[in-house]
Amino acid sequence: MTLTAPPPAATSAPAPSMSASPTARSMWRGSRGVILLGLIVVLVAALTALLTGTSTEGRRLDPADATLTGGKALAQILQRRGVRVERVSTVEDVVRLDGPGSLLLVSDTSFLDPVDFTRLSRTQAHRLIVGAVPGLEVLAPGVAPAGAAAPRSREPRCDLPAAVRAGSAYLGGTAFTGPRGSIGCYPGSEGPSLVVSPGARTVTVVGDGAFMTNQRLAEDGNAALAINLAGVRPVLIWLVPPDLPQVTPGSGRASAGDLIPAGIPWAVLQLGIAVLVVAFWRGRRLGPVVVERLPVVVRAAETVEGRGRLYRARRARDRASATLRAACVSRLTPRLGLSGDATPNEIIAATALRTGQDAVWVRSVMYGPIPADDAGLIALAGHLDTLERQVREP
């Protein structure tokens, strides 16, 4: 969190500027042909890109996928920690790798049939189920969806060692009810988003796997929770849907981009060169740059650092904490849908409801006493940042 400095004041009035450029009408008359040609080139390029049918979307929670939604980062971390990660796409491979020292991770069961579910239910491996997947009642007996839960940063609020060590994590998606003796963590209004059924074969169900993806693994305690859940056994069997078949010559299947004649890209290239030549020919040389006097500008960072040094020199922790809290309230108020004249009680209640934090703790952070030392001031800044981040979460 940084202190917001007021805009710097000008010490002198700027001198009037002068323009040596042609008028807009004359430029339009001289360059409208070039603009029209450029629009044609852009349209052709856009149509070509749309017809190719390429996609940059990755496969969600795939240990071989390096996109934002993939799980390659987690797989590499687990391998460095000595876990053998096996990416499989068939139940036969799961049965081959099955054993009491293995963990089966499942995030998509749309490609499985009833016979596959029966075979998976008979395996000895511990299980980590991500989301309310089809066949959940077979893979995780006694666990049932209880409702939707908005994914956001949540506190564990349970005694499960894996969750306690990780702390807050980005969970939600689906809330569950568990069987007798199960442990529920990261609760919401509908119930916990993580349910663990201990026993000879531990079954863990999480409502959403976003905390395990490449995009969010470095946030909060997501990496610690993912490692604590997926790295508890020497072997991790990561079940993913089968890869899509590749299009081969003569297979009778081709994308729209394959149907574009080979001469079209060359024609587009030549047209682009022609546009550049015409633009260079028709371009008008502007006059010399008119230098004008500017007001004295002081970078905002310098004023913030200067004010911070003054606060530190005077040990003005009261003013520093008041500035931090006031800035936090001013940014949170519109995000919470409150008006500018909202009372502190209204702001505290709305913040606690949005973040899921205790209202007493929120009050102590936003309107509490002055920190007794610099360490307390730093801790206050961290707590305010945490509140803002949790309010910003969708």
Summarised one tens digit per residue, pLDDT across range 107-122 is: 999 999 999 999 999 9
Which residue reads 């305690």 in tokens?
221
Q: Which two tokens stand for residue 200?
A: 């000879």
**Do 381 and 390 touch, CB atoms closer than 8 A?**
no
pLDDT higher for 84 or 254? 84
Element (H, E) at 77: helix 72-80
pLDDT computed for residue 12 by the predictor:
39
Positive or negative torsion for Cα 44, 50, 51, 54: positive
**Do 187 and 171 touch, CB atoms closer than 8 A?**
no
Lowest mean pLDDT among 245-249, 287-291, 340-344, 390-394: 245-249
| β strands within 18-164, DSSP E | 84-88, 102-106, 126-130, 144-154
Q: Which two tokens stand for residue 140?
A: 């995780």
Average of per-residue pLDDT across 76-99: 94
Q: In terms of DSSP bridges, do strands 102-106 and 84-88 run parallel, antiparallel, or are they unpaired?
A: unpaired
5 confidence band (pLDDT: 50, 70, 90): very low
**Do 17 and 292 touch, CB atoms closer than 8 A?**
yes
Query: What does the CA dihedral 24, 30, 31, 32 come to, rounded to 10 degrees?
Result: 90
Structure pTM? Answer: 0.51
237 confidence band (pLDDT: 50, 70, 90): very high
Average of per-residue pLDDT across 182-189: 93
Residue type, 21: S
10 Å CB burial of residue 109 (0-12, 13-18, 19+) is buried
Summarised one tens digit per residue, pLDDT across range 279-329 is: 777 766 666 667 777 677 667 777 777 777 887 777 888 888 898 899 999
Q: Is the pLDDT of residue 138 over 60?
A: yes
Residue type, 342: A
Element (H, E) at 238: strand 235-239
**Do 185 and 194 touch, CB atoms closer than 8 A?**
yes
Average of per-residue pLDDT across 117-140: 93
**Would you mind telling me the total number of residues written for the chain in this entry?**
394
Element (H, E) at 268: helix 263-282
Q: Count other C-beta atoms under 10 Å from residue 271's C-beta.
A: 16
Q: Is the pLDDT of residue 128 over 80?
A: yes
pLDDT higher for 390 or 51? 390
